[in-house]
Amino acid sequence: MRVVDAFRDAYGTAPEGVWHAPGRVNLIGEHTDYNDGLVLPFALPWGVNAAASRRDDGVVRLLSLQAGAEPVTLDALERAAGWARYPAGVFWALRAGGHAVGGADIAIDGDVPAGAGLSSSAALEVAVAFALNDLYALGLGRMDLAVAARRAENDFVGMPCGIMDQAASALGAEGRALFLDCRSLGSRTIPLDVAAHDLTLLIIDTGVHHELADGQYARRRADCESAAKRLGVAALRDVSDLAAALSTLSGDERARVQHVVTENHRVEAVVGLLRAGAVEQVGALLNASHLSLRDQYEVSCAELDVAVEAAVRGGARGARMTGGGFGGSVIALVPTPRLQAVQDSVTAAYGERDWAAPRFLPAVPSAGARRLI
Ligand code: GLA
């Protein structure tokens, strides 16, 4: 295994173990997680392998096959730079949570398509969290580790994300989507066997990432928090009378609430359709989610809109932007015989605009984080 060879070359011994954590794609439930709402992501076949051993001198050596080496110490984790902030943040979050985590040598090998919005950073955090949990016998469960990984990202890296990405990586299951209540953190997996219906879930990676993404993400969160305050609820999850809420709000807050409340209902509807075996009908809800994200939540961009429209024109049952927005990927539900036609349609639409060709990846629901060796 490549990561074991890299570990041995760098550190001169075999690792105590190797852990894997996957990236994710979200089927539906976008920008609902930090509103205490519902999400339905699934784990992908690509992820991060982390080979690791304990050290007893407080040193943390981090090596990435993709991004180089970074030495850190436990008493100066904040000096970690670049990609190393994510694993350093996991050490920090576990220790801040009162867990006795010492130093470690770690080698990382990742194959989550970079820049596609498929949560390579969550995969990195979760792989390291699972490794430290076993190496230091912390006894934490999967959701505890997802929560620690999210804390690393929120409070150490400084990205105010919700729990979805880390939970999908930690709790995903082969052939299933993760139906997660982001308030209670209760979850269950739902069978997602689209192939049995002659359908394919296709990821369309636009290849773009607009710079405003992080600032706009924080602004959307702030809009939601101020709207919740104005409505007198703890979180937008608690809005039960949408019409009444909309009549008391205006401007951006009104639009954001409309998205979040209807998106939670769409997640429940998709879960219902999947349970009923009405998989093709999920497409209409993907389309509705995209329009809501485009027009009410305003986190789409031209590249995402064109990919969605061209996919549907080419025969997709439905498509939507997935992840935070402002670039990244679209997820489309495609009748398998139409797969080539859908890809051709999107490629042609990009070509007409002189945009670089998008990348197509099959989205197969895969297993969550686990120890490999
Ligand atoms: C990013 C964040 C998630 C979630 C999505 C939007 O991926 O990391 O927590 O908020 O955006 O649904």
Among 24, 28, 33, which is best to mutate for testing ligand 1, by the most ligand atoms less than 8 A from CB? 33
For residue 298, what pLDDT is reported?
98
For residue 207, what pLDDT is reported?
96
pLDDT digits (tens, 9 = 90+) for 170-218: 999 999 999 999 999 999 999 999 999 999 999 999 999 987 778 999 9
138 burial level (CB within 10 Å; 0-12, 13-18, 19+): middle
Contact 334, 316 (CB under 8 A): yes
- pLDDT at residue 219 above 80? yes
Among 159, 161, 216, which is best to mutate for testing ligand 1, by the most ligand atoms less than 8 A from CB? 161
pLDDT digits (tens, 9 = 90+) for 86-142: 999 999 999 999 999 999 999 999 999 988 999 999 999 999 999 999 999 999 999
Is the model's pTM score more than 0.95?
yes
Closest Cα to residue 146, out of 173, 164, 160?
164
Q: Give the Å distance between the CA of 7 and the centre of ligand 1.
A: 32
**302 CB-near residues (< 8 Å, 6+ apart):** none
Contact 367, 43 (CB under 8 A): yes
Ligand 1 nearest atom to the CA of residue 162, by list position? 9
Atom 9 (ligand 1) nearest CA: 162
Q: Give the Å distance between the CA of 162 and the centre of ligand 1.
A: 6
For residue 115, what pLDDT is reported?
87
The amino acid at residue 201 is L
Q: Give the Å distance between the CA of 298 and the centre of ligand 1.
A: 14
Cα 209-212-216 angle, rounded to 5 deg: 120
For residue 211, what pLDDT is reported?
77
Which residues are known to be catalytic? Answer: 165
Atom 2 (ligand 1) nearest CA: 161
Cβ < 6 Å from ligand 1: which residues? 30-31, 33-34, 161-162, 164-165, 323-324
Ligand 1 nearest atom to the CA of residue 159, by list position? 8
Mean of the per-residue pLDDT values of the chain: 97
Ligand 1 nearest atom to the CA of residue 39, by list position? 12
Q: Give the Å distance between the CA of 277 and the centre of ligand 1.
A: 28
Confidence of residue 241 (pLDDT cuts 50, 70, 90): very high
Atom 11 (ligand 1) nearest CA: 324
C-alpha radius of gyration, the chain, whole number: 21
Q: Give the Å distance between the CA of 165 and the centre of ligand 1.
A: 7
User: What percentage of the chain carries pLDDT values higher than 90?
Assistant: 98
